[in-house]
Structure 1
Amino acid sequence: MSAWVNPAAPRRARKLQAELRAALSTTLPEYMIPSRFVFLDMLPLTPNDKVDRKALPEPDLLRPDSQTTYEAPRNDLERALAELWGQFLRVDQIGIHDDFFDAGGHSLLATQVTSRMRAGLGLDVSLRDLFEYPTVAALADRLADRGAPPTGFAPMPKVARGGDLPLSFAQEWLCNDYPDAPDNPVHNVVTAARLRGPLDEDALLRAFAHVVRRHESLRTRLVARPAGLVQVIETEGVWPVSRSRLEGLAEPLPAIRRILDEESRRPFHLAQGPLIRARLATLGEEERILVLSIHHAVTDNWSYGVLLRDLAIAYDAYVEGHDPAQPPLDIQFADFAAWQRHEVESGALDGHLRYWRHLLGELPAPPRLVDDHLSEEEPVAVSGNAFALTPELTVALRVLAQREGATLFMTLLAAFGALLTAYTGSRDLAVGFPTAGRDRPEAEELIGFFANSLVLRADLSGDPTFRALLARVREQTVEAYAHQEAPLQPLLREFAAEHDRIRLGFNLLNAPLATPVLGEVRLEPLSDDWGFVHVPQGVEPGTGDLSLIMLEDAGVLRGTWLHAVDRVGPRLVNRLVRQWSQLLRTVVADPDIRIEELGRRLRESGTPPARDLPGNQRKQG
């Protein structure tokens, strides 16, 4: 949890941090006391003179005021680890006894740091090592005891251009095995931002052109050949931008929604390209709506952060009258796709693939998501039911995760399993979840469809306590991450029947996102539900029956429940939606509650439906 304070002189920041924490401890419970304080000359305000939470700067650089006394690194290895961790955690000082996850680390950051320790420092270190030895001192001792020789990654080679190039496994799965055809607009990734400030439209158009030149994936077409689809990269490319004029409308929101719906329904032509477009709608002299539409075959959640960063760098440069000074990329997405196929075909990933073959071959039958046991008075839920947890519950969940040596993702995933067990009786659940698929440092700077799909078998047998369940989920998640180098997509066709048993999905969106500004122009999400991503009303999960997708935004956990309306009982979904926060509050207050008792309380609670908030969003917790 973080706090923003004004006014305060930066030189007094470290001393004030300790004094403020001591003062707050007299009135607040421990879990509500901020671990980081950001000191500002002035708090950013909205036009209504309220604090603009989304414009607050990231709480970085100042070391968190943890309970651990700072102790400096004692040798070269500890110094290298502390410096690397500090870069990713955005903290100026990492002590050798500071816990990586207590300092703000999560599963995605852990994957990045592990990759960088291997590639940049040449260390023989795994993701499991970081989870089991989460301090600099413990990890350094572990590596010293292991005595293994330095390792690292061989550079990812570039492939020759000028001809057809192979698809990545993720692209191949989307185009060949996804239930909807690749030209179906369900694959459109539509994002929308409100632009506030004096926008230089010419600089924005030039910035779009720069991003297209920089990333080959944005000037790629997918063309059918006798042997299947291939990537064809154009030498030149363009980001088409159309304009709409919405000035003078008393209520512009319906017009904005129509634009978003149009972009969501308008298909891309994969063979013709381009697979990108934009719409700039002007509401006033210093207010616009920017809508970006990109085919999923060339983008993913992580890519949006890369796109915003590169767009901002180029925009700022053109406003200042010079070209962007970004170093060239070492590789492009097509190089990654070719390298990925070589790794699979060469046998380099056989060990990881054996793990996934074994797991896929033993998946349990999916739970019955029916509502015939519920009263007809139970309201019916629509797919796309959005909600937000309170800041207090969000903080309490993070504290619980830290106390149990887990991540927020693991804690929410364990709770998801407990909730489903309460209403389906299934104690063996196969849950699919995506990862960024960027465990190589070269991939972190690229735009493309890298995401990999993993699966976890949640074991709730034996009536464990929630604490014990979380420990099981933690172990299973770490095990899955340890084998994430292998793409699962090639196995999904081989294990088609078994893959069909993965009817549940969970995700916590936490990919890095640069501060959304273009010079003096602020970018704000149109919707709190999904941040910048536009999700059409009534959208269903692309695969599976039931999915819960969550996002941490400005200190609040938000989420959306998606379900297949023809296979899932809508009254059951409504019960899950409205009891989600009740379950979370219960396990935060009593993590030693047993799963059977937790389910009994939920079934007998009879909590009335929460009142809808504007935008079909419910405040929970």
Structure 2
Amino acid sequence: LTKLEAAFQEIVKRHEAFRTSFHTVEDELVQSIHEDVALSIEYSKKAPKVSIDTMIKNFIRPFHLSEAPLLRVGVVTVSEDVHFLMWDMHHIISDGISVGLFMKEFEALYKGHTLSSVPIHYKDYAAWQQTQTASERYKKQEAYWLNRLDGELPILDLPTDYSRPKVQHFTGSRTGFEVGQELTKKLKHLSTQQGTTLYMTLLGAYQILLSKYSGQQDIIVGSPIGGRSHAETESIIGMFVNTVAIRNQIQPTSSFDEWIQQVKERVLEAYEHQAYPLEVLIEKLGIPRDLDRNPIFDTAFSLQNIDQSNISLPNVQVQPYNYLFEVSKFDLTFQAVEANHNILFDCEYSTHLFNVQTIKRMGLHYIQILESIVENPQILLSEIELVTKEEKKELLDEFNDTTTAYESQVCVHHLFEDQVTKTPHAVA
């Protein structure tokens, strides 16, 4: 525990992000960097009737932005040989790459290694970013996004299981599915043939899925991007991630290989103009704020490429604990990660809109699209079917079982009324 505390304290000392608090001065938000910040590790013992998930849930609680550090560390002792190490940090000071960096530094410091000093800090990047607002490059990026998102923006209207609340809730859940090694191999081959990346192919299929479900052709999907375009930022813990809005118009008469070239063009344009902050773009567009939706887009897609390998510590066996975070930032997010020649999907969804069966079925339909495009890249988008073989059998053979005899003189609406009488509280 002494080594544990020393390692975390050294990380706080190394990175200004963990010694930062935020304050309002003359109606402006400013960051204050403290010279010394003490990190107190929270120790507790697991009670017999309390689950570890409950303890984790209680550990995750709001931070006070005016109080540093915006990092919390806890240790839960289950037995003499079993402990849970937890840490939580505010998103304002960290991103996914920061988490991987944090883990690597903790491992090295726990082992007693000496780390080289951090060359620059997040405030240096923030100051440089502010100087860019007057540059020609910044103005060019702003002009691109204002033009790309000009006019009335489409509101994605997915069919939901529950009515949309008047005020947006961020309560959510997750479920997953995998593509499989054979289909993954075919998707990579298809991407090579089309001159695209795997990300572009998967994103293109996702926008087809959304179009099929919504019946809309103008689709906007948010996609996070690392934002660390300079080598000096690779060793900094901080919030660099930006989100780009990828807008595509789907023409049902286009073939998939024509469609994926449009996706490729839009993605490359988005990457070229990725430095323009989303929050600034929202203000510039002057989009009316709806309490029940996110501005610009309500769904996101990502292909993760973050190194978050397991920690290796001397005399300690370490393994990650799979905790279900009950949060969804958007209505629906498909997060893909490539592992062991397979593509794994983690679907984050709003539980105020969808139930888990709907999201699982959506995953099956997504795979159906992927199988259709690898089998025939020239297939017209209008000809891509969502219905799986199993669903076809269910619809045509099981639901359409015509062996039941009905009285020929009874009208359909009378049969309906009879069923209402038999099961008045059942779903119609």
Q: TM-score, normalised by structure 1?
A: 0.56
Pair 1:500 & 2:300 matched: no
Out of 129, 136, 143, the position equivalent to 1:354 is 143
Out of 17, 26, 29, the position equivalent to 1:217 is 17
Pair 1:336 & 2:125 matched: yes
- Structure 2 CA distance, aligned partners of 1:589 and 1:211? 50
Out of 170, 177, 182, the position equivalent to 1:392 is 182
- Structure 1 CA distance, aligned partners of 2:151 and 2:92? 30
Pair 1:236 & 2:26 matched: no
Instruction: Tell me, yes or no, if the aligned pair for 1:422 and 1:603 is still in contact at 8 Å.
Output: no
Q: How many angstroms does 1:346 deviate by? A: 4.5
CA deviation map 1:120-170 (0-9, x unaligned): xxxxxxxxxxxxxxxxxxxxxxxxxxxxxxxxxxxxxxxxxxxxxxxxxxx
In the alignment, which residue of structure 1 is the partner of 2:270?
A: 480
1:195-594 matches, cutoff 5 A: 201-246=1-46, 255-264=51-60, 266-317=61-112, 324-362=113-151, 364-370=153-159, 383-497=173-287, 500-514=295-309, 516-527=311-322, 534-537=323-326, 539-540=327-328, 542=329, 544-566=330-352, 573=359, 575-594=361-380
Counterpart code for 2:375: A
Instruction: Tell me, yes or no, if the aligned pair for 1:428 and 1:458 is still in contact at 8 Å.
Output: yes
1:117-196 matches, cutoff 5 A: none
Q: 1:207 to 1:586 in 2, by over 3 A?
A: same
Q: TM-score, normalised by structure 2?
A: 0.80
Q: How many angstroms does 1:316 deviate by? A: 1.4
Instruction: Tell me, yes or no, if the aligned pair for 1:279 and 1:290 is still in contact at 8 Å.
Output: yes
Instruction: Tell me, yes or no, if the aligned pair for 2:178 and 2:343 is still in contact at 8 Å.
Output: yes
CA deviation map 1:296-315 (0-9, x unaligned): 11111111111111111211
Q: How many angstroms does 1:352 deviate by? A: 1.4
In the alignment, which residue of structure 1 is the partner of 2:407?
A: none
Q: How many angstroms does 1:215 deviate by? A: 0.6
- Structure 2 CA distance, aligned partners of 1:587 and 1:581? 10
Bigger Rg over Cα: 2
- Structure 2 CA distance, aligned partners of 1:569 and 1:297? 30
Instruction: Tell me, yes or no, if the aligned pair for 2:252 and 2:381 is still in contact at 8 Å.
Output: no
Q: Secondary structure at the match of 2:385?
A: helix
- Structure 2 CA distance, aligned partners of 1:408 and 1:522? 35
Q: 1:371 to 1:492 in 2, by over 3 A?
A: closer
Q: 1:348 to 1:467 in 2, by over 3 A?
A: closer
Q: How many angstroms does 1:476 deviate by? A: 1.1
- Structure 1 CA distance, aligned partners of 2:310 and 2:347? 27
Post-superposition, which runs of at least 4 consecutive aligned residues in structure 1 deviate over 6 A?
Answer: 568-571
Counterpart code for 1:299: S
Q: Secondary structure at the match of 1:429?
A: strand
Q: Secondary structure at the match of 2:373?
A: helix
Instruction: Tell me, yes or no, if the aligned pair for 1:356 and 1:488 is still in contact at 8 Å.
Output: no
Task: Judge which range, 400-409 or 289-298, deviates more.
Answer: 400-409
- Structure 1 CA distance, aligned partners of 2:101 and 2:260? 33
Instruction: Tell me, yes or no, if the aligned pair for 1:464 and 1:595 is still in contact at 8 Å.
Output: yes
In the alignment, which residue of structure 2 is the partner of 1:45?
A: none
Q: How many angstroms does 1:280 deviate by? A: 1.6
Q: How many angstroms does 1:426 deviate by? A: 1.4
- Structure 2 CA distance, aligned partners of 1:607 and 1:270? 56
- Structure 2 CA distance, aligned partners of 1:424 and 1:346? 40
Q: How many angstroms does 1:284 deviate by? A: 4.4
Instruction: Tell me, yes or no, if the aligned pair for 2:71 and 2:89 is still in contact at 8 Å.
Output: yes
Q: 1:572 to 1:371 in 2, by over 3 A?
A: farther
Instruction: Tell me, yes or no, if the aligned pair for 2:20 and 2:31 is still in contact at 8 Å.
Output: yes
Q: 1:584 to 1:232 in 2, by over 3 A?
A: same
Percent identity between matched residues is: 28
Q: 1:496 to 1:290 in 2, by over 3 A?
A: farther
Q: How many angstroms does 1:601 deviate by? A: 4.7
Counterpart code for 1:506: F
- Structure 1 CA distance, aligned partners of 2:252 and 2:72? 53
Q: How many angstroms does 1:472 deviate by? A: 1.8
Counterpart code for 1:545: D
Counterpart code for 2:257: R
Instruction: Tell me, yes or no, if the aligned pair for 1:246 and 1:283 is still in contact at 8 Å.
Output: yes
- Structure 1 CA distance, aligned partners of 2:296 and 2:389? 26
Counterpart code for 2:175: N
- Structure 2 CA distance, aligned partners of 1:246 and 1:571? 34
Tell me how large the CA RMSD over aligned residues is.
2.9
- Structure 1 CA distance, aligned partners of 2:37 and 2:393? 55
- Between the two proteins, the alignment pairs up a number of residues equal to 380
Q: Secondary structure at the match of 2:75?
A: strand
With a CA cutoff of 8 Å and minimum separation of 6, indicate the structure with the bigger relative contact order.
Answer: 2
Instruction: Tell me, yes or no, if the aligned pair for 1:363 and 1:430 is still in contact at 8 Å.
Output: no
Counterpart code for 2:302: N
Q: Secondary structure at the match of 1:549?
A: strand
Q: How many angstroms does 1:522 deviate by? A: 4.7
